[in-house]
Amino acid sequence: MAAAGSAVGLGNIWKFPYVAGENGGGAFLVVYLLCVLLFGMPLLMTEFMIGKRSGKSAHGAFRALSGNSRWQWLSWLCMLTAFVIMGFYFVVTGWCFNYLVEAVMNSFSGLGTQELTAHFDTIQSSKPRMILFGIVPVLLTAGVLWFDVNKGIERLSKILMPLLLGLMLLMAGVVLMIDGSSAGMRFFFRFDMAQITPRVVMEAMGQCFFSLSIGMGALITYGSYMPKGQNVIATSVQVIVLDTLVALMAGVIIFPAVFAFGFDPAEGPQLVFVVLPAIFEKMTLPWLSSVLFFALLCIAAITSTISLMEVVVAFICEASANNKRPLHRRQAVLITSALVIVLLVTCVFVPEVFNYSDLVSSCVMMPLGALGTAVFVGWILSRKKGKAVQPNESWIKCWSRKFYLFVLRFIVPLAILLIVLNGLGIL
Ligand code: TRP
């Protein structure tokens, strides 16, 4: 559940619809689902396994398993990626908090399509406001790590995740009843081969990494908490199914509404924020449903930011463990929060930094992290430790282990290289 909480977040509800909308809807969806199968499944299993076997987070795990520090750079990459993501992730979480407050105050009731778009721009243009709303989730996340109340949050999200899913189901039902919404379903589900460009493939792969939280060691930490008997494969399947379900549902809510109300599917990062308020207007209890939805969205975002910040905090603690004066967890939380606030302010003031950190983290840094992880386990560890490399103790069937290793050694690294180089126009 904790891993699902890390996976389900703004990536599913905010990023998925907007990236799919920019990249041709149905074509993107098909490539995305293929990426989830091809990269998501083996890499999720691999990260969990690294954590479970070593009992450590990325920094300690690569050293413990390889027996030397040659793979330490990979944990540095993971840590840097977490930073780059946090910069813009907290900005968007700030938007969510801003919309929650506005939902409580009923400020967007009665606004039309154009007014909602203009409303977003107005909020956006107040930089102090954006910074303030961005700092709130940073402090909340830091607070959770400071007081070590992760467990409580996990228990909470066990109740709130199903609630979010239920509410989304209801919203989908309402949206699909609106006249003109079927065009949105066609956009989201119609596969058009001509739409698939190298760029679309790269963005779909990046979205897969981002949404499943893979390629930056976040799930290594979660794997390290797994009890011995836990089934890595079953856990991976559960996380993937839940994460994909939420993303699909977001698409089924957003795109029909986009077409019914006359928005532009390629609107960009503000897409869901301008479309959602229009949907609540059509619901039976508009105030309650919008407040509830934005509250749940904020919580889903926070469970993800916790896992992001944890990557950096665990890195600082493990990397300084051999120093004369190792840093305490709380010191690490302070340092990380301060740096994240600096990044957040930069993202608010320089829109290019916001856009590029999103693209570079998903389409370059996480793929690189995933490539490193696959090579580390597939080529280094499996030679050294032989049979120890299998995600599951009870996984004795030889062919399944061979298949897993084959995918990890050849398919994953080659596909990542090909897709990134092609997507960036280098090939
Ligand atoms: N997966 C999260 C989302 O969809 C974002 C996220 C949280 C993440 N932790 C991560 C992404 C670690 C990559 C790595 O919103």
User: In this predicted structure, what is the pLDDT of residue 391?
Assistant: 64
Q: Nearest CA to 235 among 223, 246, 224, 247?
A: 223
Q: Are 384 and 66 in contact (CB under 8 A)?
A: yes
User: In this predicted structure, what is the pLDDT of residue 157?
Assistant: 80
215-267 pLDDT tens trace: 999 999 889 888 888 889 999 999 999 999 999 999 999 999 999 999 999 99
- Compute the distance between CA of residue 285 and CA of residue 366 in angstroms, rounded to an integer: 41
From 32-41, 235-244, 396-405, the region with the lowest mean pLDDT: 396-405
Please give the distance, rounded to the nearest whole angstrom, from the Cα atom of residue 86 to the centre of ligand 1: 9
Which amino acid is located at 113 in the chain? T
User: In this predicted structure, what is the pLDDT of residue 389?
Assistant: 62
Q: Which of 79, 308, 313 to mutate to test ligand 1, by most ligand atoms within 8 A of the CB atom?
A: 308
- Compute the distance between CA of residue 187 and CA of residue 23 in angstroms, rounded to an integer: 11
Q: Which of 36, 85, 311 to mutate to test ligand 1, by most ligand atoms within 8 A of the CB atom?
A: 85
298-330 pLDDT tens trace: 999 999 999 999 999 999 998 998 889 899 999
Using the predicted structure, report yes or no on whether residue 388 has a pLDDT greater than 70: no
Q: Are 316 and 17 in contact (CB under 8 A)?
A: no
Residue having the nearest C-alpha atom to atom 12 of ligand 1: 213
Average pLDDT value for the chain: 92
Judge if pTM exceeds 0.75.
Answer: yes
Binning pLDDT at 50, 70 and 90, where does residue 386 land? low
User: Mean per-residue pLDDT for 191-211?
Assistant: 96
Q: What is the DSSP annotation of 124-144? A: HH-HHHHHHHHHHHHHHHHHH
Binning pLDDT at 50, 70 and 90, where does residue 396 land? very low
- Compute the distance between CA of residue 264 and CA of residue 255 in angstroms, rounded to an integer: 9
122-149 pLDDT tens trace: 999 999 999 999 999 999 999 999 998 8
Please give the distance, rounded to the nearest whole angstrom, from the Cα atom of residue 319 to the centre of ligand 1: 22
Kindly list the distances between the CA atom of residue 62 and the CA atoms of 2, 34, 59, 191, 310, in Å, as whole numbers in the listed order: 22, 29, 6, 41, 17
Q: Nearest CA to 375 among 335, 407, 419?
A: 407
User: In this predicted structure, what is the pLDDT of residue 155?
Assistant: 82
Binning pLDDT at 50, 70 and 90, where does residue 153 land? confident
Query: Domain 2-423 classified CATH 1.20.1740.10?
Result: yes
Return the CA Rg of the chain.
Answer: 21
Domain segments of the chain as ranges: 2-423
From 32-41, 71-80, 388-397, the region with the lowest mean pLDDT: 388-397
From 247-256, 327-336, 402-411, the region with the lowest mean pLDDT: 402-411
Share of the chain above pLDDT 90, in %: 80
Binning pLDDT at 50, 70 and 90, where does residue 385 land? low
Using the predicted structure, report yes or no on whether residue 158 has a pLDDT greater than 90: no
Share of the chain above pLDDT 70, in %: 96
Binning pLDDT at 50, 70 and 90, where does residue 397 land? low
Q: Which of 18, 83, 210, 363 to mutate to test ligand 1, by most ligand atoms within 8 A of the CB atom?
A: 210
Phi first, then psi: what are they for 142, rounded to 5°?
A: -60, -40
Please give the distance, rounded to the nearest whole angstrom, from the Cα atom of residue 387 to the centre of ligand 1: 31
User: In this predicted structure, what is the pLDDT of residue 421?
Assistant: 96
Residue having the nearest C-alpha atom to atom 14 of ligand 1: 213
- Compute the distance between CA of residue 318 and CA of residue 56 in angstroms, rounded to an integer: 9
Please give the distance, rounded to the nearest whole angstrom, from the Cα atom of residue 9 to the centre of ligand 1: 7
Site residues for ligand 1, CB cut-off 6 Å: 6-7, 9-12, 85, 210-211, 213, 216, 218, 304, 307-308
Please give the distance, rounded to the nearest whole angstrom, from the Cα atom of residue 214 to the centre of ligand 1: 8
Using the predicted structure, report yes or no on whether residue 395 has a pLDDT greater than 60: no
